[in-house]
Amino acid sequence: MPAEWKPAKTPELIPSSLDGDSSSLPSDAGRAHPRPLESTLRPDTGDVSVSGLAGIIHVRCGDDCLETLRLSGLPGTILRWMDPLCEGPTPTDLDDDGFRRIRADWLAERYHLNSDALLATFREQDQALERAAIDSHEVLLWIEPNLFDQLILIRLLDRLWPLAGGRLSLISVDRRPGGGRLVGFGQLGPAALAALFPSRRRVTATQAAVASQAWRAFTATTPEPLERLVMTKKLETLPFLKAALDRHRRQYPWRRHGLSLTEWRTLEAVAGGATTSRAVFAFLQARERAPWQGLAMIEAGLRDLASGFAPALTLNADTPNERPLALTETGQAILEGRETAPPRERWLGGVHLDALNSEPDRTVWYWDEGSRSLGVRAGIGISR
């Protein structure tokens, strides 16, 4: 996990801690950023004018590069907006307060946080972002290619376009300023971050419309809208969105073994000798084209695999960062193809797979690696 950043006492900045005693939310994947600013960028090519630079709000969805941004010398104010939308419920039929409440309650339970403090943080960051969208010269979103960031991108574009319109801009790249792969902004120093600034581009109405459609598909109660959307070319207007949504689809239980891709790789890691959560984290990061999970997320996943009536793992919960992990007999059987993992309750965007109230005649969504698509079958688990 990225180190927690303590912001200066500036009204526009949102604290990275939830309260004085709570740990911060799971941030992005710990990803892990010289050229002077250009004097003029041409709006008609999608670039952004540099007039009124002091009125720029830099929005980052995590703690990974906030301090580096502050040291970069870039003009404007930094605002942290963070909600790991890649995990937990994102139902489509709630108003803003209801959405924030269900998110806060689910995340508080999963990560042992204070739900009311988390709710207050969500409300505060939404209000700060809305004020920025209305009042600022420009709202600049710093977004990485991974699933964590891309879901936040479509959420924010859907929310902010009616308020800010053409004053929204975006930096979303997968290459370092001097060349080479960029996993995340947290890898870059202040000068390298500043070198990315001239590459920012104005968000277009087409991009905002596609983001809104993608957000509605992601939050739908079934995955059919998402399946239809990824089969089109619409997503190409946001270059990294299709790959991110494809990765989300692979978090559904797989037909062959009943685990998500992350869960399957976790068992592979332990079978290969990973005995701690940090070792599993490193194994998983190395196998992602665009790493999107932080250590806290991986540890929560380990707890899932070690719970239930047929756990696939054993772990010692008293040592959260150095857990002696081992496969159970069930876990070994799943890896060998002799058993399928039992279903468990999951939220995948707006889709709720509920193993606790299952009925044999209801359908369950699964990922079929043969057809590279989501399908349904009758059986344990329901989608609603």
- Give the tens place of pLDDT for each residue, 103-142: 999 999 999 999 999 999 999 999 999 999 999 999 999 9
Question: In which band, very low, low, confident or very high, does the pLDDT at 354 lie, cut at 50, 70 and 90?
Answer: confident
**The two structure tokens encoding residue 47:** 């670039």
Of 13-27, 238-252, 359-373, the least confident: 13-27
Asked whether the beta carbons of 350 and 331 are under 8 A apart, the reply is no
**The two structure tokens encoding residue 280:** 């599993």
Using CA atoms, how far apart are residues 104 and 115, in angstroms rounded to an integer?
A: 5
Question: In which band, very low, low, confident or very high, does the pLDDT at 155 lie, cut at 50, 70 and 90?
Answer: very high
Task: Please provide the DSSP assignment of 299-339 as one string.
Answer: HHHHHHHT-SSS-SEE--TT-TTS---EE-HHHHHHHTTS-
| CA nearest neighbour of 348 among 235, 256, 232, 262 | 262
When pLDDT is averaged across residues 218-222 and rounded to a whole number, the result is 97
Give the global pTM: 0.85
| Helices (H) then strands (E): counts for the chain | 12, 12
Using CA atoms, how far apart are residues 185 and 72, in angstroms rounded to an integer?
A: 12
- Give the tens place of pLDDT for each residue, 279-312: 999 999 999 999 999 999 999 999 999 999 899 9
- Give the tens place of pLDDT for each residue, 6-19: 222 222 332 222 22
The CA-atom distances, in angstroms, between 119 and each of 93, 182, 367 are 18, 33, 33
- Give the tens place of pLDDT for each residue, 176-216: 998 999 999 999 999 999 999 999 999 999 999 999 999 99
**The two structure tokens encoding residue 95:** 């108003």
| CA nearest neighbour of 295 among 279, 305, 283, 281 | 281
The per-residue pLDDT for 25 is 64
Kindly list the structural domains of the chain, giving each domain's residue range(s) and its CATH number in brackets, ordered by start. 43-219 (3.40.50.670), 250-342 (1.10.10.10)
Alpha helices in 231-313 (DSSP H): 241-249, 261-271, 277-286, 295-305
Question: In which band, very low, low, confident or very high, does the pLDDT at 30 lie, cut at 50, 70 and 90?
Answer: very low
Beta pairing class for 201-202 and 138-142: unpaired
Residue 150: enclosing H or E segment and its boundaries?
Answer: helix 147-164
Using CA atoms, how far apart are residues 107 and 113, in angstroms rounded to an integer?
A: 7
When pLDDT is averaged across residues 342-353 and rounded to a whole number, the result is 94
The per-residue pLDDT for 48 is 43
Task: Please provide the DSSP assignment of 2-19 as one string.
Answer: PPPP---S-TTPPPSSSS
